[in-house]
Structure 1
Amino acid sequence: MSGSRITDQQVRLYMNHRKHHPQKLAAAKSGMSERTARRVEHEAGLPSQQPRRYWRSRPDPFADVWESEVVPLLRAAPKLKAITLLRKLQEDHPERFPDSMRRTFERHVSQWRALEGPSQEVFFPQTYQPGARGLSDFTHMDKLCVTIGGVPFNHLLYHFVLAFSRWEYASVVDGGESFQALATGLQNALWQAGGCPREHRSDSLSAAFRNLQEEEDFTVRYAALLEHYGMEGTRNNRGMGHENGSVESSHRYLKDQVDQALELRGHRDFADRAAYDEFARGVVMRRNRRNAAAFQIEREHLLDLPEHRTTDFVEEEARVTRCGTFTVRCVLYSAPSWLIGHRLKVRLYSDRLDCYLSGALVHSTTRATHTSKRRGRGIDYRHFIDALKRKPQAFRGLAFRDDLFPREAYRRTWEQLDQALTPRSACKTMVGLLELAGHHGVEAQLAERLDALLALGELPDLKALFDEFAPRQAECPVVVVEMPSAALYDTLLDEEVPA
């Protein structure tokens, strides 16, 4: 093999084969080239008995440019790659240094870095004690191409690992890194593990805040969270992900197993978010089975959990405008119309918003996130159906009209109605379809029927769809009660009752 030295055993094997086979066949059986076999036959002794050659067998092709051109570049920018330097030499000296010299040049650069190059960072392997450290981090899952209801689902994964046993917890995060996502994921992991490590380590978490005020607020809340569970918080240096290596290295293996599970499943689409959460949870549970024995040892060294969980939300205030919407952290949400004009206390969790009025929970909705094209919106079409029935023409120019469509079939149906019918009829029909979907709980079934009608090139008949999907009012039977005469009760007193 090119680049490797033959051994004494290969030479002995070759000599034995050479007694009965031609030189080419004996060399192949011994794992050496025919050229090496010819040299072996002319040399006396075994390779270990031959003096090692330390001189060049041919002139150095880079001798006249190495010290004058290459070394100054390496000293000025030590991170330059060998291929970059070779391309520079090829530009300065056309047709002099072909690509066939690349391997030779890379050995030159490697040798220079070993002798004169800058010092490199040293990695120190660590030994972990049971219950000593737990690590948290977020990792992107976009490359897995997961879809929910046919729509791409760009999300993160919160990942927690106990360093000693490699026991782990993971949860899907939709909306980026935040204190709520960290607090929810960490508390879920600790309560699932049944205890707390003495130290909790994370990265700088710079993606969890956007300005200095948010950073200060995050720091205070994070310190209170760790104090509640009796853990000491540590962070690795910014940009030094390997310092969080126990969880960083697990990212790759976990994502690879999720990807393989998706391949085994046959497709990457899920009916809803809950189905995908359950799928990811199953992958993590299978990984934890392999570390069950080590986790039982570590479980005995974990700190006891407190009596209750601490807050994993951020509270803000928002007023519901006369449009039936309110804004929280630059995201527009809808609310029931009876809350218009009221100021709500809004608790932001990692996955939802809970709205309180005078201490009572009056509204809860899924938390919306920003997209690359526009600000996020969490609009529920059910909040506007009754108002649109009174003013159907307002649907056409509504600022958030496209957010009212619960599924893609409704949007495509509106496009066809808008082209084929008059503005009044199109708006009235579309509002009627939304009423049927929202008030009668047939959103999914109606979407399938609309897709079928669009495939046939037909427009929906609102009356026919109501007759098919809307529950019919059952007629109450007429019950006639005939009151008996009071004299009938006297028959019960015919016989004297004994005292």
Structure 2
Amino acid sequence: MESRVELFAQIRRDARVEGLSVRALAVRHRVHRRTVRQALESASPPGRKPRQGVSWRLEPFKAAIDAMLIEDTTAPRKQRHTARRILARLIEEHGAQELSYSTVRDYVRVRRAQIDVEAGRRVEVFVPQEHAPGAEAEVDFGEVYVVLNGVKTKCHMFIFRLSHSGRAIHRIYPTQAQEAFLEGHIEAFNILGGIPTKHIRYDNLTSAVTAVVFGQGRQRQENDRWVLFRSFYGFDPFYCQPGIAGAHEKGGVEGEVGWFRRNRLSPMPVAESLDELNDRIRAWEAQDDFRRINDRIRTIGQDFEIERPFLASLPAEQFDPGLVLNPRVDRSSMVTVRMVKYSVPARFIGRRVRVSLRASEVVVFDGRTVVARHQRVAARPGQSVQLDHYLEVLKTKPGALPGSTALARARESGAFTNAHEAFWAASRRVNGDAEGTRELIDVLLLHRSMDAGDIYAGITAALGVGAVSADVVAVEARRHATASFRGGAGSDRHRGAQGELKVQRVVSLTRRRLMDPAAVIAGLPADARPLPSVSAYDELLAKRTEHPAGPASKENIS
């Protein structure tokens, strides 16, 4: 389809070369004679008149609408006029029955922004900023929902984003408390390999700021532990203006929260634990290195390689992000941390221990030695109990094991396997309830020094020969560990020879004695020896009767 400019050029050429009349030109080019006359008068087509529409009906009421919008500049934010309320007032007070909602809405959307700018309440123009490599970063939290163990759970995503390259670190925690805030920083510093040299931008988060000092610029009252943390790593904070007014001051991380939530966490991710989900996020971050932000020439990863050398170096020591507490161990061998109970070894009952409350875990120390470690429980009240912490007590009170909370939790977590159940049942049949339970506890104590897989193999081997003894389990577990080590360390050419080796196994003589003597147990040959007999000794008794004991005769003496 030819344009109007080309059409006018053809009309003017035909009139000039062939001398056609207006009517003939209109017929040839299939246009109105008015269009022919416009072409002959000017080579430029006239502009189209804008469509008037129905907005002319709004003209008598624009002054009233402007007055309402000006009134809103001093009104509380939640009591300002909406377009629907303005239309209702125009109908009630000015008789504007013919106005439609869309007409009022379109006018209010444009005019409200203009009035706000005139009143100095809002600036619509954003000035682009340049960020030097390694100088600045932005931090924020965003809410996310995750399906953990089949339960929809509200969590919090920590994001640390370098302003120059856009390289971002994302971690999901059950809370956005200070321990999660600090732990997110530490992981980001370690992964990025450095610290921004100028400042890091923040909202007025309670993890860092205890109070906003109004009237004194960006001065804040900071949390003591936060001051200690930033002093340890050597960086300065930049606090944005409170509320919506400061959102644009860290627009990079604000946009990153939305982008990551839409592109990586939709639909809701399903995971067994937050550790599993964060491992998945690390893989996504590696993929994001090949992504370009908007119209940038280089990818995020390429810009980060340029930025990395400009970051400040990390300190030699590691900062403990956990909140340090000193609770007392109660009679149930548990400590209470944030309304949640965590078990510790029974030997600490009545003593105070040092607890490091971290974002994802709770670590209990005795001096500098870690004596207990739990995944942090988000639900309140709640508890986390480990069976290992009660084994010494259960050794003296074996009857308390079957109904104990620790055993129930071990079964739920899978630490107490079917092999343990089978060993316990067999041990109680042979040794009785109390002694059989003690044998099981001795097996559980082996987990402190041996691998769980080796112990599982040891239990299976012991049950295979009918030996319900912790000593037998220990021997078989060590043998399995040794065979696994040799199999892993050996070369491929020896695997066939290793497979031909006959592994000697522990044999239960008790079971062998109770079973059919002709049965072959654990690879031993059948016992073909005759049963023992005392007939030879019976012959001696008969001879003793024939020659009773008496005074020695001369013949015997001689």
Q: What TM bracket, shorter-length normalisation?
A: 0.5 to 0.7
Residue 127 of structure 1, CA deviation: 0.4
Alpha-carbon separation, structure 2, partners of 1:10 and 1:401? 85
Match of 1:61 among 35, 47, 57: 57
Alpha-carbon separation, structure 1, partners of 2:184 and 2:467? 42
Alpha-carbon separation, structure 1, partners of 2:95 and 2:408? 60
Quote the residue 1:75 is aligned against: 70
Taking the TM superposition and a 5 Å limit, the aligned residue runs for 1:100-119 are: 101-110=100-109, 112-113=111-112, 116-117=115-116, 118-119=119-120
Deviations 1:123-147 (A, max 9, x none): 22210111111222222222xxx32
Identity %: 19
Taking the TM superposition and a 5 Å limit, the aligned residue runs for 1:214-233 are: 219-233=223-237
Quote the residue 2:287 is aligned against: 286
Q: Does 1:319 align with 2:328?
A: yes
Quote the residue 1:124 is aligned against: 127
Residue 342 of structure 1, CA deviation: 1.3
For the residue of structure 2 that corresponds to 1:300, the secondary structure is helix
Alpha-carbon separation, structure 2, partners of 1:55 and 1:282? 55
For the residue of structure 1 that corresponds to 2:372, the secondary structure is strand
Q: Does 1:156 align with 2:156?
A: yes
Quote the residue 1:139 is aligned against: 142
Distance 1:471 1:76, change over 3 A: farther
Alpha-carbon separation, structure 2, partners of 1:59 and 1:104? 7
Alpha-carbon separation, structure 2, partners of 1:59 and 1:285? 53
Distance 1:110 1:140, change over 3 A: closer
Deviations 1:400-450 (A, max 9, x none): 999898379x9xxxxxxxxxxxxxxxxx9xxx9xx99x9699xxxxxxxxx
Amino acid at match of 1:326: V
**C-alpha RMSD of the superposition:** 4.7
Distance 1:61 1:391, change over 3 A: same
For the residue of structure 2 that corresponds to 1:279, the secondary structure is helix
Deviates more, 1:251-260 or 1:203-212: 203-212
Amino acid at match of 2:4: V
Aligned residues of 2:148 and 2:273 also touching (Cα < 8 A): yes
Quote the residue 1:189 is aligned against: 188
> Structure 2 unaligned runs (5+)?
12-30, 74-79, 212-219, 291-298, 417-432, 447-462, 473-505, 510-558
Match of 1:11 among 4, 9, 12: 4
Q: Does 1:44 align with 2:38?
A: yes
Deviations 1:84-123 (A, max 9, x none): 423554576899246xx23322343245446544342242
Q: Does 1:347 align with 2:332?
A: no
Q: Does 1:253 align with 2:259?
A: yes
Residue 319 of structure 1, CA deviation: 0.6
Match of 2:248 among 242, 251, 255: 242
Amino acid at match of 1:292: G
Residue 166 of structure 1, CA deviation: 1.5
Amino acid at match of 1:172: I
Quote the residue 1:406 is aligned against: 412
Aligned residues of 1:321 and 1:341 also touching (Cα < 8 A): yes
Amino acid at match of 2:373: S
For the residue of structure 2 that corresponds to 1:75, the secondary structure is helix
Amino acid at match of 1:96: Q
Residue 151 of structure 1, CA deviation: 2.5
Aligned residues of 1:199 and 1:234 also touching (Cα < 8 A): no
Quote the residue 1:445 is aligned against: none
Deviates more, 1:240-249 or 1:352-361: 352-361
Distance 1:95 1:57, change over 3 A: closer
Residue 191 of structure 1, CA deviation: 2.2
Alpha-carbon separation, structure 1, partners of 2:3 and 2:173? 58
Q: Does 1:176 align with 2:176?
A: yes
Residue 250 of structure 1, CA deviation: 1.6
Residue 174 of structure 1, CA deviation: 2.0
For the residue of structure 1 that corresponds to 2:327, the secondary structure is strand
Aligned residues of 2:199 and 2:238 also touching (Cα < 8 A): yes
Match of 2:344 among 335, 338, 344: 335
Aligned residues of 2:208 and 2:226 also touching (Cα < 8 A): no
Residue 236 of structure 1, CA deviation: 1.2
Alpha-carbon separation, structure 2, partners of 1:15 and 1:440? 99
Aligned residues of 1:317 and 1:344 also touching (Cα < 8 A): yes
Quote the residue 1:167 is aligned against: 167
TM-score by length of 1: 0.63
Alpha-carbon separation, structure 1, partners of 2:10 and 2:410? 82
For the residue of structure 2 that corresponds to 1:206, the secondary structure is coil
Residue 242 of structure 1, CA deviation: 1.8
Match of 1:380 among 378, 381, 385: 385
Aligned residues of 2:55 and 2:103 also touching (Cα < 8 A): no
For the residue of structure 2 that corresponds to 1:61, the secondary structure is helix
Alpha-carbon separation, structure 1, partners of 2:234 and 2:33? 72
Alpha-carbon separation, structure 1, partners of 2:382 and 2:174? 14
Aligned residues of 2:322 and 2:357 also touching (Cα < 8 A): yes
Distance 1:59 1:85, change over 3 A: closer
Deviations 1:25-67 (A, max 9, x none): xxxxxxxxxxxx9898598358965478689677833445443
Alpha-carbon separation, structure 1, partners of 2:114 and 2:248? 26
Residue 218 of structure 1, CA deviation: 6.1
Work out which structure has the larger RCO, using CA pairs closer than 8 Å and 6 or more positions apart in sequence.
1
Deviations 1:241-282 (A, max 9, x none): 22111222222222233136xx6xxx9422433321211110
Quote the residue 2:529 is aligned against: none
State the aligned residue count.
382
Amino acid at match of 2:236: E
Aligned residues of 1:160 and 1:247 also touching (Cα < 8 A): yes
